[in-house]
Amino acid sequence: MEAKIVTLPGDGIGPEVVTEGVKALQAVADRYGHRFTFEEALIGGCAIAATGSPLPEETLEACQQADAVFMGAVGDPKYDDPRSPVRPEQGLLGLRKGLEVFANLRPVKLYKQLLHASTIKPEVIADVDLLVVRELTGGIYFGERGRESVDGVRAAYDTMFYTEPEIERVVRLAFDLARRRRKKVTSVDKANVLESSRLWRETAKRVAGDYPDVEFESMYVDIAAMRLVRYPGVFDVIVTGNMFGDILTDEASMIAGSMGMLPSGAIGAHKPGLFEPIHGSAPKYTGQNVVNPIATILSAAMLLRYSLELDEEAQAIEDAVEAVLAEGYRTRDIHEESTILVGTREMGNLITERIRLKG
């Protein structure tokens, strides 16, 4: 197969982890006889510095014409000032919208070698293997917002807005994915308070009617947050709105042991998908070869599975990650005594070597 992959290293540690992900993809290409071409483009803070825009037009166009997009992270403390007129994150939001990738798949898996790093109490640890399907191109991230003056005091507002079709397409996708897993969907909302959540709940329930073989429940987001840290094993597929999904997946990463372990893949009705680790640009670790590239390497596996439909190749990456963890190699975030501490590059090399070994 031939595929064109646009890489967006972005800011901070983004370039370091993308380098390792690209190595893994190249190893897959070599082993299975595919040809992947990589084209790099700018996004985020580095794009602002070079062009003034966090998402230059050339970048969006290159991404739209690619078979898949592989991103690192965006974010730079230079733009932390709340009054800053332009922010790196706008680039990412614009890209998600521009690619119409409405569903963000965020699998959460607790590897048995990383039990020590998980926040879950040893006595409740069940098999944690859940998938959060986060709505990605709507909700409060994209609703009307603004500032105004009310009776002489400063005020600001954001709007959580969803249309029924926006809810329906992401919920349907969650059910389709659940059918290939343990056949349970939990729809998470705040329907006791928010009108947009009441529409979400109604729509989810209606869609559930088309999937009698899949167990379905609706849950308030506060309760879901609580259950997730206490009994994560009860979840299979969680489907939820943009902001709830953002928050719940950072929480869920602590169950997996580290932000550095969670990949993500954003997909829509058409190609290409957008694949990125859930973590940010971690500016304070930039250039130190200490961060964990596994989230990014597993995102490369998702790219193969969801955008290129190369299941066996995706599995080869996932198996290589598992093998390296089983052999005791750890980056600093997941290191414990008696395991072997390695840097970003070394972890990438170890995984890549194992991908290259024919099974």
Catalytically active residues are: 141, 190, 222, 246, 250
Minimum Å gap between C-beta 215 and ligand IPM is 27
Minimum Å gap between C-beta 278 and ligand IPM is 5
DSSP string of 246-258, one letter each residue: HHHHHHHHHHHT-
Contact residue for ligand IPM among 4, 32, 64, 89 (CB under 6 A): 89
Q: Tell me the residue nearest to ligand IPM as measured from the CB.
A: 89
Residue 89 or 158: which CB sits closer to ligand IPM? Answer: 89
Residue 6 contact partner, candidates Mg ion, ligand IPM, none, CB within 5 to 8 A by sort of partner: none
Minimum Å gap between C-beta 264 and Mg ion is 9
Half-sphere exposure (Cβ direction) of 54: Cα atoms closer than 13 Å = 21
Minimum Å gap between C-beta 208 and ligand IPM is 26
Residue whose token pair is 């739209």: 64
Residue 353 contact partner, candidates Mg ion, ligand IPM, none, CB within 5 to 8 A by sort of partner: none
Residue 92 contact partner, candidates Mg ion, ligand IPM, none, CB within 5 to 8 A by sort of partner: ligand IPM
92 binds ligand IPM (CB under 6 A): yes
Cα Rg of the chain (Å, integer): 20
**Distances, alpha carbon 137 to alpha carbons 60, 97, 162, 170, 224, in Å:** 16, 6, 10, 10, 22
Residue 130 or 342: which CB sits closer to Mg ion? Answer: 130
Minimum Å gap between C-beta 134 and ligand IPM is 8
278 binds ligand IPM (CB under 6 A): yes
> Of 111, 36, 24, which Cα lies nearest the Cα of 345?
24
276 binds Mg ion (CB under 5 A): no
Minimum Å gap between C-beta 103 and ligand IPM is 13
Binding mask 227-256 for ligand IPM (x = CB under 6 A): -------------------x----------
How many amino acids of this chain bind ligand IPM (CB under 6 A)?
6
Give every CB contact of residue 301 below 8 A, 6+ residues apart in sequence. Answer: 24, 263, 314, 315, 317, 318, 321
- Other C-beta atoms closer than 10 Å to the C-beta of 252 total 25
Residue 158 or 168: which CB sits closer to Mg ion? Answer: 158
Residue 75 or 232: which CB sits closer to ligand IPM? Answer: 75
Residue 89 or 215: which CB sits closer to ligand IPM? Answer: 89
Residue 45 contact partner, candidates ligand IPM, Mg ion, none, CB within 5 to 8 A by sort of partner: none
Q: Which of residues 81-120 bind Mg ion (CB under 5 A)?
A: none
How many amino acids of this chain bind Mg ion (CB under 5 A)?
1
Residue 107 contact partner, candidates Mg ion, ligand IPM, none, CB within 5 to 8 A by sort of partner: none
246 binds Mg ion (CB under 5 A): yes
* Residues 265, 240 contacting (CB under 8 angstroms): no
Spatial separation of the C-alpha atoms in residues 92 and 54, rounded to whole Å: 8
Query: Quick one: how many helices (H) and strands (E) in the chain?
Result: 11, 14
Backbone φ and ψ for 42, nearest 5 degrees, come out as: -95, 140
Minimum Å gap between C-beta 124 and Mg ion is 25
- Look up residue 282 and give its amino acid: A
Residue 88 or 348: which CB sits closer to Mg ion? Answer: 88
**Distances, alpha carbon 3 to alpha carbons 66, 163, 198, 288, in Å:** 8, 34, 42, 32
Give every CB contact of residue 252 below 8 A, 6+ residues apart in sequence. Answer: 106, 108, 130, 132, 228, 232, 262
167 binds ligand IPM (CB under 6 A): no
> Of 63, 55, 139, which Cα lies nearest the Cα of 92?
55
Give every CB contact of residue 154 below 8 A, 6+ residues apart in sequence. Answer: 147
Residues in touch with ligand IPM (CB under 6 A): 75, 89, 92, 246, 278, 280
Residues in touch with Mg ion (CB under 5 A): 246
